[in-house]
Structure formats: structure tokens, C-alpha cells
């Protein structure tokens, strides 16, 4: 949308108006059952089915008649839907327009146009670079893990969630995005980075050390289950003595992919995780069988960038006594989102439940504490000294 030069106070007022309208309009659809949670009960019975929205019409007319800028009906409607999603005050409940939906789906196939960096939030809720991917624009430009991103193309990232920030960083191939960052707490730097088309397999594997199988999963996407299965079969063929499952910097993804990966170790029927809302158990996700890596000593590597589906896998393997966890405490995302398709090609992602480890714990804002805590500093990374991987290898059989 083309932004006009209006003062900050008036701009804030207009955004507030759109947010209020959004809370009402989709709130009415929610009450009428146009947005639903399958067989789940209505968890928000306190919301009215019929609301007097005369004041909403009044606010809409104020924007239409007084806003010093250009708006389309589509932009207003997208604003309304975004408003309702934001009214939950839940950073993971989000509305995606049709174009944003396409970008989101591309992310799950690991094919997109961007800079090649995994994003996250630190303990202070600041947007950070979790890990620049080797060989791609972010790494080539000099971005580093733990860099705090303060603005994207001049827009402050204060209060911006991860999905929104990723959407702003991505864009057409060969276009530029400018990031202002703070490094090591006080160094302010600016990076102008040219986007490129990026296709990344979510799983890589190799044999390291003394015949140890190493498998790294960058994100749980649509290709993860098949690629992980092939890696596991290769390990069995090579008669590896142990396995390192590297989930560091893995922000999560598809729960189904997490269950499939966990099932490479877990016996059929063993719990991977359980989903519960305020009133009932919604689903129990169990291993599906084919556990060809069961019994092979395994270490899972995690860090503060390991979130969601990666935490599900780490917790499942640990709690079922199939793996030892090494690294530092994970991110702590213990909630489940479900994606609902809207009629115009848009989607809404709604937090529908919390998930629980096989040991009964929910990790929201807590994370998973490793069995063995091992830090990895930036200087150690630069020197090629992967202390966490070395610690994992020290746990696994050497002969």
C-alpha cells in the first residue's frame, strides 16, 4: 500500500480504527460459526453472537471520508481480518492475505525468494537473526547469528512478529531489502541485501567421526519425512555406531513431519505429544512404526533457536528414552496452530491448543533444558570449534 505523509498521531488513530473494525467484523463471523475448530466446543462463549456495529460503520465512514491517502476495498478488508487475529493478543494467531498465503506455503516447501536467514525472537522479544544460511545472500553480506534486526526497509521491528518480519524481508528476486541491526549490544550496522530465489532441502546427512551418522534438519517441511527416512536407511546400511540429530536453529514447521521423524526411533504407539485446549484432549500423536533407528545411541543437539516441532521431536525422543539432549535451553513454543482456508485464497492461522510432552510437561515460555548444557560462542563458531557437536560425539560410542 502506498503510504501518505501524515503525522504519527493521525496514522496511529487510523490504524486503531481499522483494528477496532477488524475485531468486530470477523468476531461476528466467529460467533456465527463461519470460523470453526472442527469438533471442538466453543471456547469463547462470552462473545456475543450479535453485536451492535453502528459505531463501526461510523468509524469506517470517518476513514473513507477523511483519510488523506489511497485505500482499496481489499486493503480495508485485509485490515479487518488482521484486526481480529491481532485481537487475540497471541503472536502465533495470524491472518494471511492471498499473497501472504502463497509466501507462507512456499516456506513450507523451502522454496522462496529472500536472503536466506532464519529469524527468531530473543528473550527481550527483539527480532534476531538465528542463523544465516551458508552460501546465500545474508551470509555473503555479513549477517551473523544473534544480530538484532531493528528495522526492515526503514520500518521499526518493535512489536513485529516473526511471520510478519519474514514477509517483509522476502520479496521478488533481484530486489533489495535494507536491514538495520545491532551487533554485540552496541554496534549499529546497515545491510543492503539483494534477494534471490532460494530452494533448500530441509534435511542433510553424512557420516562423521568414528562412523557416526549426522542428520541436520533445518525446518520441518513437506520434504522432511522422506529425506529423513532416506538418511536413516543409509545409516542402517552403513551400520553406524551412533546418530547425532541436529535441530539447532530449527524454528519448527509441520507437526506431521515431526511425528514422522520421531517415528524413526520410537516404537509404534509410543507418544510423541498430546494436544489439549482449555477443556479437553484434542489429539494424541503417537509414533507410526518403522523405527529403524531404535536402539542406536542418539544425541539431539538443540539451542535457543530450536522451537515448536523441533522441541516436539527432542522431547519425544528424550522422554521415551531414545536420545540424550545436548546444547542450551530451547526457545519454548508449546502451542499448536491450525490453518483455516478462507474463500478468497487467504488463510488464518489460529492457536487452537497447547501441546504436552510424553512426560506431561508443556514447554510454553519454558523451553527444554538439555541433559548436558554446552554453550557455543560466536568466536568458537568462527574458529570451527563446534563444542556442542564435540560433546555429542563424546557421549556416543567410540569403538
For cell 568414528, name the residue: 210
* Catalytic-residue membership of 333: yes
Question: Is 140 a catalytic site residue?
Answer: no
Residue listed under C-alpha cell 471456547: 43
Catalytic residue among 308, 310, 322, 349: 308
Per annotation, catalytic residue among 147, 223, 319, 322: 319
Active site residue 319: yes
SS3 track for the chain: CCCCCCCHHHHHHHHHHHHHHHHHHHHHHHHCCCCCCCCCCCCCCCCCCCCCCHHHHHHHHHHHHHCCCCCCHHHHHHHHHHHHHHCCCCCCCEEECHHHHHHHHHHHCCEEEECCEEEEECCCCCEEEEEECCCCHHHHHCCCCCCEEEEECCEECCCCCHHHHHHHHCCCCCCEEEEEEEECCCEEEEEEEECEEEECCCEEEEEECCCEEEEEECCECCCHHHHHHHHHHHHHHCCCCEEEEECCCCCCECHHHHHHHHCCCCCCCCEEEEEECCCCEEEEEECCCCCCCCCCCEEEEECCCCCCHHHHHHHHHHHCCCCEEEECCCCCCCEEEEEEECCCCCEEEEEEEEEECCCCCCCCCCCCCCCEECCCCHHHHHCCCCHHHHHHHHHCCCC
Candidate list 147, 260, 333, 349, residue with the active-site label = 333
* Burial classification of residue 1, based on how many CB atoms lie within 10 Å of its CB (0-12 exposed, 13-18 middle, 19 or more buried): exposed
- Report how far residue 324's alpha carbon sits from residue 394's, in angstroms, rounded to the nearest whole number: 12
Q: Which residues have a Cβ under 8 Å from the Cβ of 211 and sit 6 or more positions away?
A: 238, 239, 240, 241
Enzyme catalytic residues: 308, 319, 333
Amino acid at each position: 500500500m502506498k503510504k501518505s505523509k501524515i503525522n504519527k498521531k493521525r496514522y496511529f488513530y487510523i490504524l486503531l480504527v481499522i483494528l477496532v473494525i477488524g475485531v468486530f467484523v470477523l468476531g461476528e463471523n466467529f460467533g456465527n460459526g463461519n470460523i470453526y475448530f472442527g469438533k471442538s466446543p466453543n471456547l469463547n462463549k462470552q462473545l456475543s453472537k450479535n453485536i451492535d456495529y453502528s459505531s463501526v460503520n461510523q468509524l469506517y465512514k470517518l476513514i473513507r471520508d477523511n483519510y488523506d491517502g489511497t485505500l482499496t476495498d481489499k486493503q480495508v478488508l485485509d485490515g479487518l481480518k488482521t484486526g481480529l487475529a491481532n485481537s487475540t493478543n497471541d503472536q502465533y494467531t495470524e491472518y494471511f492475505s492471498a499473497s501472504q498465503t502463497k509466501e507462507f506455503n512456499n516456506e513450507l516447501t523451502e522454496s522462496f525468494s529472500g536472503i536466506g536467514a532464519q529469524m527468531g525472537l530473543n528473550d527481550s522479544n527483539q527480532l534476531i537473526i538465528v542463523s544465516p544460511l551458508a552460501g546465500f545472500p545474508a551470509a555473503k553480506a555479513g549477517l551473523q547469528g544473534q544480530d538484532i534486526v531493528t528495522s526492515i526497509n526503514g520500518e521499526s521491528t518493535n512489536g513485529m512478529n516473526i511471520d510478519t518480519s519474514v514477509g517483509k524481508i522476502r520479496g521478488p528476486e533481484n530486489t533489495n531489502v535494507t536491514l538495520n541491526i545491532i551487533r554485540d549490544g552496541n554496534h549499529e550496522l546497515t545491510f543492503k541485501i539483494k534477494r534471490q530465489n532460494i530452494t533448500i532441502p530441509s534435511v542433510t546427512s553424512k557420516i562423521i567421526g568414528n562412523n557416526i551418522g549426522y542428520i541436520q534438519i533445518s525446518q520441518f517441511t513437506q520434504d522432511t519425512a522422506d529425506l529423513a527416512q532416506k538418511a536413516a536407511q543409509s545409516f542402517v546400511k552403513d551400520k553406524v555406531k551412533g546418530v547425532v540429530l541436529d535441530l539447532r536453529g530449527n524454528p519448527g514447521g509441520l507437526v506431521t513431519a515431526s511425528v514422522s521423524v520421531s517415528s524413526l526411533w520410537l516404537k509404534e504407539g509410543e507418544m510423541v505429544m498430546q494436544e489439549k485446549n482449555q477443556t479437553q484432549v484434542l489429539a494424541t500423536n503417537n509414533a507410526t512404526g518403522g523405527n529403524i533407528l531404535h536402539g542406536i545411541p542418539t544425541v539431539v543437539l538443540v539451542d535457543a533457536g530450536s522451537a515448536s516441532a523441533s522441541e516436539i521431536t527432542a522431547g519425544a525422543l528424550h522422554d521415551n528414552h531414545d536420545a540424550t539432549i545436548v546444547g542450551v535451553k530451547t526457545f519454548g513454543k508449546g502451542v499448536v496452530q491450525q490453518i483455516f482456508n478462507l474463500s478468497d485464497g487467504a488463510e488464518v492461522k489460529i492457536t487452537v491448543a497447547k501441546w504436552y510432552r510424553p512426560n506431561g510437561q508443556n514447554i510454553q515460555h519454558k523451553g527444554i533444558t538439555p541433559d548436558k548444557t554446552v554453550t557455543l560462542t560466536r568466536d568458537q563458531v568462527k574458529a570451527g570449534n563446534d563444542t556442542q557437536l564435540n560433546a555429542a560425539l563424546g557421549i556416543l560410542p567410540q569403538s
